[in-house]
Each structure stands twice: as C-alpha cells, then as structure tokens.
Structure 1
Amino acid sequence: MTGLVTGSVTSKLKAGVSEGEAAAAAMDSSPNTNKALTETRFSDLEPPLSKDIIEALDRSGFEFCTPVQAATIPLLCRHKDVAVDAATGSGKTLAFLLPLVEILCRSTSYPPKPHQVMGVIISPTRELSTQIYNVAQPFVSALPNVNSVLLVGGREVKADMKTIEEEGGNLLIGTPGRLSDIMERMEILDFRSLEILILDEADRLLEMGFQKQVNSIISRLPKQRRTGLFSATQTEGVEELAKAGLRNPVRVEVRAESKSEPSQQLTNSKIPSGLHLEYLECEADKKSSQLVDLLIENANKKIIVYFMTCASVDYWGLVLSKIPALKSISLIPIHGDMKQNVRDKALAWFTEASSGVLLCTDVAARGLDIPGIDYVVQYDPPQDPNMFNHRVGRTARLGRQGRAIVFLLPKEEDYVEFMRRRGVSCQERKCSEEASDVIPIIRSLAMKDRAVLEKGLKAFVSFVRAYKEHHCSYIFRWKGLEIGKLAMGYGLLYLPSMSEVKQHRLSGEGFTPVEGVKFEDIKFKDKSREKQRKQNLLARKEKRQGEKRERGKKNSKKAADPSAASRKLTGKQRQTIQTAEDEEEMDRDYRFLKKQKKGLITEDEFARLTGADDF
C-alpha cells in the first residue's frame, strides 16, 4: 500500500459551508435556497448516481449538493481514494454514503453472500455510528440483497455475533473497539471482496486512542479497495494514517467563507459562516446565576450546554431542573458514563424536540447532527482547545444562523486572544445585572436532599481535578483558580476534604460556610436510598467499634508481654528502654541495701529481693 503522494490532485472548493450530515438536515424544508449549497444537482453528477438513490434524495428534499459532496462523490465513484478535510457541517456523511452504495451496487460481487463483507464504516462514537447507520438505511434499502449491521458497545457482543450469524452482514458500521472484536471472533465473515473502507472523524479516532484498533481492522482488509478518510482537522496522526491506509489519494479541502460579509469573516476554515460567537467573563460564584439567566432569556430555543465532566452534567442536570424559574424548560443530561439505551433515548427525544436544553460533555461534540440548534453554551471551556470548534459547530449548520458563548473566569481572559490567534474571534457579552442569585436556592436544595449535596461535592471534585489537567495550563492556571468562589458557584455547603483544596493557597477565600447545619443529618429524599444510607452508617459504626475492641485486645497483650512489644521496636528504642529499666533496678537495690544496713531486713531477705540468691 503506497503512501500519500506529494503530487496528488488537490480539490479546493470555497463556499459558505456548514455541516449537514445527511439525515440531519433530513428534512430541511428549503435546501435549494441554502447558501451552503452549490449549483450542482445530485442528478448532474458524473458518473451518474443510480435512479433509486436520486429518488431517495428527492423524497428527503435534497436536490443540490454541498461543496464537499460535489467534490467527493464523483471521485469515490471513479474508484479514487480520498482524504477529505472539511468544516464541521459540510455534509460529509452523504459524501461517503452515496458513493458507497453506488460502489456496492456496481460491484462484480453483487449480490453478495450473507457473510460477504463489502463495506466497512468506522466512526469514533456510538452516537455517530448510530446516526450514520440510520442515515444509510433509505439508500441501502435500494440494494435488497445487502444487509447493514450496526456494531457498537453498550450491548453484549454475543448478541451482535448472533445477529450476524443469522442475518448476515455485508455493510458493517460501528466503533473501532466493537468492529475489531467482531472481526477477531467471527471467522465466518469474509472480507476478500471488500470494496470500500470509510474512516469518519479520523482525527477524533486517533485522539480517543483507537489507533491500535484501527490498524487491526485495516490489516484484515484487502489492499485492493477504495478508502475514504474524512476529518475536520489535519493532524500529524491523520497524515500518518492517510499514508498507511490510502493509495494515491485525492485531497478534498472545503473552507468556509461568508460572501455577504467578507470583512467580518473568520479566518479559521472550521467555523460556520453564520455563527455569532461571544464570551462572558464573570466570577466563579456568579457563573451558575448567569447560566440560569441565559436559559430563561432563551426559553423557547434549542440549546446545548457543555460541561467538562460527567459528574458536572449529573449535578447540574439535577439542580437546574429544580430551580423554579426553569420549570417550564426541558433539561436533558447526557454523557459517556450513561448506559447506552439511556443516551439513545435522550438524544432521540432532543433531536425531535423544537426547544429544550441538552446538558452534555464532549461525547456530543463531534459528528452528531442534531437539527435546529439555536445556541451553544460552553459553561466550561474544553480541556482540549481543538474541541472548541467542534462544540460550536453544532449550531449555524447548513448556512443557517446560530449563536455560541463561552463562560470564562477573569483570570482566563487570555483565552479570547488565544482563540483569536487560531482564527476564532469572539465578541464580549456583559454579565446580566438582572440575573437572580441562585446560590441560596441550590444550597437550600442540598440541605433538603442528600442527593443534591453528594452530587455537588462529586461534581466539584471532578471539575477541580480536570482543571488541573487542562491542555492550556498557562491560561487555565490551577494555582490561580479561586477554589472558594468556585465552591460557592457550585452551591456547596462546605469545602470537601481533598488534597487539592488543602494545599491550595486560595482554598478558603470567597467561600461562606453554612452555619448551624449537621451535614451528617441531611437525608435523601429517596426513601430507599435513605434506608440504605442508615444501614451503611450502622455497619460502619459496628465496624469501627469492632476495630476499637481489637485494638484494645492487642494493647492488653502488649502490656502483658512487653518482650513481644519490644520485638517491634528499633534497636535504639530497645536500648533506651533497657537503660531505663536498669536504672530503676539499681534504685530498687539501693533502697533494699539501705534497709539492710538499718536492720530492717536480713541479709538473706536482701539476697532474695534483689535476686542475688539466684547466683
């Protein structure tokens, strides 16, 4: 397999681009007027797409291609390898799905046998794989003898193996771990006739540590195949992957450019042109109040709020839902530690909703195409600055308008200049002076329900430890983080006992502890959890008492057998003890000697008392 050739063809198309990953836009009511589209119709592409595919596109309301689709589809259909570098939202999913279906249909191996694999699509997350699978179905259905299989974690691998054994698998779509596992376990799968491999979000595949699994998958595939590598950013790792997995690839690079306001366009190619970016600078103890005010202001909008950790999503999902002013707003938490079926249901609900708030970690930052996002809020800036663009790219898709805001602490203001140098310009948004203080509400919730108290502590601890690992540590300085104000912003009742807090020079500043509350007496509202807590408390109490009794017994034994205790002492300690004992013995003998001289005891009694008669 040859590497990336220096003189390979390069297609550079410039237009106003934003991502319309197929199904998402699935059903945009007016795709023809969208400025993200070219004047090229799907029906005009060469070589031409099959009649069934054109009809499926028509049913979905698609007539014109986005730039990446217009450039990539003909290349793959002509059996070229492609390395596609396109902005978040450029329509990459259709750009590889349509030619994939065409290639399978025209293959000399068509129709395939049940276990004859003709295509493999690898993506980094379960959600993205599921989305690709769902988008593919209307087009794969044009091939009645081709069965597509979704292979992701979250379910027993044996269930996937049984499905493949019984129903076959000609197009495998999934995450690297599960795909690699299935390929190793199932010798029944035949890859000799494989036509095409797609690596979607290749940069993210490498960032998430899937290099080994991807290499394992590629090693099992025939070299005579077509390969498409799709990525939003070009990193050294992606270039190496392209050299190893592609043969003389054509590079397709699509940049975003605003035609209506060229003077204000962003220099960074990965930001949608219709996106309005802002930053809000406020103290850590004011952030939660500013967030609530922002959500109230945009109550009828569809919003994504990003947090740094899973524990933060859990906590704020619980707390925000209990704040009276937000009762009318639907709040949906999602993160990587949730069970897969819970994540799927949450995403499905939010995708169909016309308004609401999705609280999430970066699990939803890449590839997922949720239509109609109006606002992206980065409550916590991402640990990895490369994720900034992928987060904000969830809005302003397909040429629409969208807004995004990032919350910053005063000592993090250098992040604005840092992002500007990366081609991402943000305008300042002033803190709302009308924002109500929600800290008393949150603390009241914690005093009434131990679930709030414990989740808050866990969220705080997880954030502090994640903050220490920030990639931009020269901007997000751990030593400058005002721990006390941060704890106030989380609505904590007390500062947790953790080494990071104890060692921090600003640990207590800005924090007002709650007086007159016995924290151990705060109960769970959930009766079953409270019952379990009491049982655990009783068990711990009995354990401590038992340990105390054991220590008492050991101390008694040591007192009864001083030589046993001395065996555990150091030589210096034993010498000190021995010297003291010798001195005490000498004092005793001297007292007995004085008694003998005074005639109080006989010589024989003296010998007996001092042990002299033993000799």
Structure 2
Amino acid sequence: MADPGEWETMENKLHPRVLQTIRELRFTHMTPVQSATIPLFMSNKDVAAEAVTGSGKTLAFVIPILEILLKREEKLKNLQVGALIITPTRELAIQIDEVIRQFLVHFPQFRQIIFIGGNNPMKDVKKFKKQGGNIVVGTPGRLEDMFRRRSDGLDFASCVKTLEVLVLDEADKLLEMGFEASLNTILGFLPKQRRTGLFSATQTQEIENLVRAGLRNPVRITVKEKGVAADRPQKTPVQLHNYYMQSFSSLHSGILVCTDVMARGIDIPEVDWVLQYDPPSSASAFIHRCGRTARIGHHGNALVFLLPMEMAYVNFLSINQKCPIEEIKLLKDSADVLPKLKKLAVSDRAIFEKGMKAFVSFIQSYAKHECSLIFRIKDLDFAAVARGFGLLKLPTMPELRGKSFPDFIPENIDTNSIRYRDKNREKQRQKILAKQQQDRQQNEGKKKFVRNKPWSKQKTKKDKRKKQADKRKRDEGSDMEDENIDELLNDTRLLKKLKRGKINEEEFEKQLLGT
C-alpha cells in the first residue's frame, strides 16, 4: 500500500473540487497503481499499467479523466465526447459508470452515458442526442454499432473528434473475448492526438500488440506485490491465501452453490472467501475469480475443489499463471442436506429443473475444458456427480448416451407429475402439455394417402415414423424437456463462438435473446 500522505502531496496538482470529492468518498490513501499512474496520466503521458485484480485501477483513470477535462480551454458541448472508456463486460461498464456518477454530482457541467449490450440501441441513440455524453463508458460491440449508425441521424464519429482520453480497461479480457476486430474499428474513428491508458491484470503478446497499435511511447507500469521474491513473481495479492481441496468427495454429505457471474470486474467489499466448485475453462479466469477477495489491501481466501486425478492443475497454475496455492485440510461435521434437496425438487418443478440444468452444464464444462489433459470427462464419476446435484433421475444428453450407471438409483417417481410451486407457471405448463397431447391425437387420427407409391415402401415409411414417434415418447418421459436441453446446448455453442471471436458481444446477445 502506498504512503497515505500521497494524497496530500498531490493537493497542488489536483483540482480542488476533485480533491474534495475524493475525501468525501473516503479515499484516504493511494494504492500503488494509483500513485504510479495518476501523475503520469495527468502529464500528457500514455500509460500501460499491469496490476493484480482488486488493486484500484478504476480510480487510477477516473481521476485523470476529470482533471484533463476540467483543464480544457474550451468547454465541451453536450454532444462532444471528451473521454471514452471501453470495458469487456456490461457488469464492469455499469460499475465504472457508477463510480464516475459519484464524482459528476459535483461537476454538473459534464454529462455521462453508458452504451452496453442488452439495451435498445435506438433508445441509446435518442438518449445521446437528447442529453449528450462527455464521458462515455461502453462495451466494444455496442460502441462499434454506434460508430456505424448513420441512418439514425447521429454521426458518432464526429462527436469523438474532441476526444482527450481513451481508456481500455481489462484489456486482456477484451482480447480474450474476441473483441480485437471491434477495437481496431473503434480506434480507426478516434483522433490520434489523445491520451490513452491501457489497464490489465495480465500481460500477453496480444496486449503488447495492442499497446503498439494504440499508444504513443507509453510509460509501462507494473505493480509488484510486496514480499514476493524476484525469482518467483505472482499475479495474485500476497494477502490472498489460495487453497485447493483433492478429499471433499470423501465426505459423507455436503453441498456447495456458487456462480461465475461475478468472476471479474465486480467489487464487493469484505468478501472473506471465494469458493470454486469447479475450475474455470480458462486458466486466466481462475485469477479473476479468486480476485473478488483480498481487494485493495484487505485479506481474503479462495478455495477450489479438485478430484484426485486433477492434482496436476496445482502445478499448472503455479507455472502458467504464477499463482501458488496450498492444500487445506478436510472439513469435519458437515450436514447431509441431499435428502432435503431431493424433497425440495419433488415439491417444486423449478428446483427440479435447475438441478438438471446444473448437472448438464457441469458435465459439458468438462467436455469443453481448456485443460482437457487434466480435466478429462472420461474420468468423471457421473453417478457420484448426479447424486451430488440431488437429481431424481438422469437427464437425456449426448455425454450419457449408451452408458449405464448402476451406482445411481433413480427415485421411484413420475417426474412429469412434479408441479411448479408458482401457480401461474404451472398453469402455463399444463396448457402446453394439453396442446401437445391434442396435437399427438390429431396426428395419429390423420390418414395420409400416398399416390403412385408401392405398398411396401409406404409400410417402410410408416414403420420408420412409428419408431421415431416411440423414441420421442420415451424422450418426453425424461426428467427435462428437450427444448430446455437444446436451449442450454445452443447457449454453449454461442458462448464458444464468442470466445473464439467468430461473433462479437452484440451478435452474441441478439442470438441469445432470439432477436
């Protein structure tokens, strides 16, 4: 942590109202990345900063942006963009927008606007034309769309001719998610005479290429963690105690619920533990998952569960991500909650279906894992996984086809009879089931006449249709409707296209929402 007195050292450099706002927001000390970046950024320097996640990078560029715009000789008009901040995700864009909003309460002369996927693009255009936006925060796909729009009466390329500052936040994630083409398009519209800041938690060759393309003689800033040996650098805070676990499966019972939604770009204060039920498909994502704790000087812990045959992942993280982790001892006296979970699944179809979807997602994460030599789907104990998710029966999915699981005993219950606790949802389901039954009866009652076809061929086709119908009936008796599995498989395919750069974030969201 930098010297708390460094804010006072900058009093003569910062705008008085900016300094007052900083103090009102209780920023009483600088982090290393802030103390290294802010003075350089404010003195007409391009910066390329690399620092561990949770090190306070957002404030390191928000303060210089405000200072630079305040010192402009000519006041910005509503439709003139002075600063553009590009982030990889909507969640991170919203978070940065909220930080800026806290400052702009004291600077009403500036307007801010956010352009992210999921919002109606026409509404974004109308909002910008009505209120303007001197500081723009956005995701690459939506920003690229804004530049290309000409038929809506908005020439966004003209609006950025006044641009003073460009910030690429979480630059490694921008490139990892396949936004390089969109970034190149956006950079082509921006003026060359600008200040550019590139902020990243990791350094890659792709980042280096982006530095060369978008920055002019940048000052490179690498913030090292104190107490780390020079010959053994690491990319996680030293205050973070990272553990792994190879014996959780030997417990008599236990359950863990976690989510990957906030693996990056989300700052929640005082998170003590980050629990990872399964390792992420991308090794770099591991750093950002556990980086939700031990932020800005606080202490924290992260735990990942590994099967015995996955122990190579420990060395892999140490070498590939420079992230040391240590074993934590087995927990004792855990409660057996699986019977209760099964009871809940029987009483509410929503819980029953969520368990099925979670199981499908977990299995497919192994099938498509980046470290396929370590995380091998053929080594999984499907029956044990199904019991751990509290399933009543196994779903129908390609990975289970042709396999038998004597260690998994399905519950003696007709899962089609499980009702939604939500009455409206159950009413809608009953309508769909009644319509399906009606359609089947109508199809069975229809007699099709085939002209000029031998009787033997007609019989062959009839037998084929009967087999297909029988197969559909058997499938309909499975635990999870086919459309739900198809939807999950489709979402997985779309996400894979997004990661490979075949589609951008905007196209991903449109296809995901079916628009």
- Paired residue for 1:575? none
Tell me if structure 2 keeps the 8 A contact 1:71–1:252. yes
2:416 is the counterpart of 1:447: no
Amino acid at match of 1:546: Q
Rounded to whole Å, the distance in 2 between the matches of 1:465 and 1:435 is 28
Tell me if structure 2 keeps the 8 A contact 1:151–1:174. yes
User: Displacement of 1:532 after TM fit?
Assistant: 2.2
Q: Alpha carbons of 1:289 and 1:205: their partners in 2 closer, same or farther (altered >3 Å)?
A: same
Rounded to whole Å, the distance in 1 between the matches of 2:101 and 2:142 is 20
- Paired residue for 1:80? 45
Rounded to whole Å, the distance in 2 between the matches of 1:128 and 1:535 is 41
Rounded to whole Å, the distance in 2 between the matches of 1:204 and 1:132 is 16
Q: Alpha carbons of 1:387 and 1:132: their partners in 2 closer, same or farther (altered >3 Å)?
A: same
The correspondence for 2:113, drawn from 142, 146, 149, is 149
- Paired residue for 2:377? 478
> Which of 110-119 and 227-236 deviates more?
110-119
Q: Alpha carbons of 1:444 and 1:569: their partners in 2 closer, same or farther (altered >3 Å)?
A: closer
Instruction: Calculate percent identity across the aligned residue pairs.
Output: 43
Amino acid at match of 1:78: S
TM-score, length basis structure 1: 0.69
Amino acid at match of 1:223: K
Rounded to whole Å, the distance in 1 between the matches of 2:109 and 2:207 is 34
The correspondence for 1:187, drawn from 135, 142, 155, is 155
Tell me if structure 1 keeps the 8 A contact 2:393–2:411. yes
2:88 is the counterpart of 1:124: yes
2:281 is the counterpart of 1:379: no
Amino acid at match of 1:525: R
- Paired residue for 1:352? none
Rounded to whole Å, the distance in 1 between the matches of 2:205 and 2:408 is 45
Rounded to whole Å, the distance in 1 between the matches of 2:355 and 2:328 is 28
- Paired residue for 2:368? 469
2:417 is the counterpart of 1:521: yes
Amino acid at match of 1:213: S
Tell me if structure 2 keeps the 8 A contact 1:416–1:426. yes
Tell me if structure 2 keeps the 8 A contact 1:285–1:485. no
Amino acid at match of 1:82: V
- Paired residue for 2:407? 510
* Secondary structure at 1:376 match in 2: strand
What is the 5 A alignment of 1:385-400?
385-400=283-298
Rounded to whole Å, the distance in 2 between the matches of 1:493 and 1:169 is 53
User: Displacement of 1:485 after TM fit?
Assistant: 0.7
Rounded to whole Å, the distance in 2 between the matches of 1:483 and 1:237 is 38
Rounded to whole Å, the distance in 2 between the matches of 1:537 and 1:162 is 43
Amino acid at match of 2:58: T
The correspondence for 1:165, drawn from 117, 129, 132, is 129
Rounded to whole Å, the distance in 2 between the matches of 1:385 and 1:287 is 30
Rounded to whole Å, the distance in 2 between the matches of 1:288 and 1:226 is 56
- Paired residue for 1:544? 440
- Paired residue for 1:174? 138
Tell me if structure 1 keeps the 8 A contact 2:234–2:323. no
- Paired residue for 1:416? 314
* Secondary structure at 1:83 match in 2: strand
What is the 5 A alignment of 1:266-277?
267-277=232-242
1:586-610, Cα deviation, whole Å (9 max, x unpaired)? xxxxxxxxxxxxxxxxxxxxxxxxx
Structure number with greater Rg is 1
Q: Alpha carbons of 1:138 and 1:457: their partners in 2 closer, same or farther (altered >3 Å)?
A: closer
Rounded to whole Å, the distance in 2 between the matches of 1:503 and 1:235 is 43
Rounded to whole Å, the distance in 2 between the matches of 1:387 and 1:444 is 35
What's the Cα RMSD here?
2.6
1:309-340, Cα deviation, whole Å (9 max, x unpaired)? xxxxxxx5xxxxxxxxxxxxxxxxxxxxxxxx
Rounded to whole Å, the distance in 2 between the matches of 1:561 and 1:247 is 77
> Which of 60-69 and 181-190 deviates more?
181-190
The correspondence for 2:100, drawn from 106, 121, 136, is 136
Tell me if structure 2 keeps the 8 A contact 1:485–1:509. no
Q: Alpha carbons of 1:562 and 1:195: their partners in 2 closer, same or farther (altered >3 Å)?
A: closer
Over 6 Å off, 4+ runs: 567-570
Q: Alpha carbons of 1:134 and 1:566: their partners in 2 closer, same or farther (altered >3 Å)?
A: closer
Tell me if structure 2 keeps the 8 A contact 1:285–1:490. no
TM-score, length basis structure 2: 0.82
User: Displacement of 1:42 after TM fit?
Assistant: 2.4
Contiguous gaps of at least 5 residues in structure 1: 1-35, 292-315, 317-358, 571-615
- Paired residue for 1:235? 204
User: Displacement of 1:155 after TM fit?
Assistant: 2.4
* Secondary structure at 1:397 match in 2: coil
Q: Alpha carbons of 1:79 and 1:451: their partners in 2 closer, same or farther (altered >3 Å)?
A: same
Rounded to whole Å, the distance in 2 between the matches of 1:172 and 1:562 is 68
Rounded to whole Å, the distance in 2 between the matches of 1:180 and 1:244 is 18
Rounded to whole Å, the distance in 2 between the matches of 1:76 and 1:394 is 26
Rounded to whole Å, the distance in 2 between the matches of 1:232 and 1:543 is 56
User: Displacement of 1:522 after TM fit?
Assistant: 1.9
* Secondary structure at 2:211 match in 1: helix
Amino acid at match of 2:358: A
What is the 5 A alignment of 1:320-359?
359=258
Rounded to whole Å, the distance in 1 between the matches of 2:289 and 2:201 is 12
- Paired residue for 1:596? none
Rounded to whole Å, the distance in 2 between the matches of 1:215 and 1:164 is 23
> Which of 418-427 and 79-88 deviates more?
418-427
Tell me if structure 1 keeps the 8 A contact 2:11–2:19. no
* Secondary structure at 2:428 match in 1: helix
Tell me if structure 1 keeps the 8 A contact 2:252–2:336. no
Tell me if structure 1 keeps the 8 A contact 2:65–2:83. yes
- Paired residue for 2:175? 206
> Which of 154-163 and 276-285 deviates more?
276-285
User: Displacement of 1:252 after TM fit?
Assistant: 0.5
- Paired residue for 1:3? none
2:58 is the counterpart of 1:58: no
2:259 is the counterpart of 1:360: yes
User: Displacement of 1:489 after TM fit?
Assistant: 0.6
Amino acid at match of 1:246: L
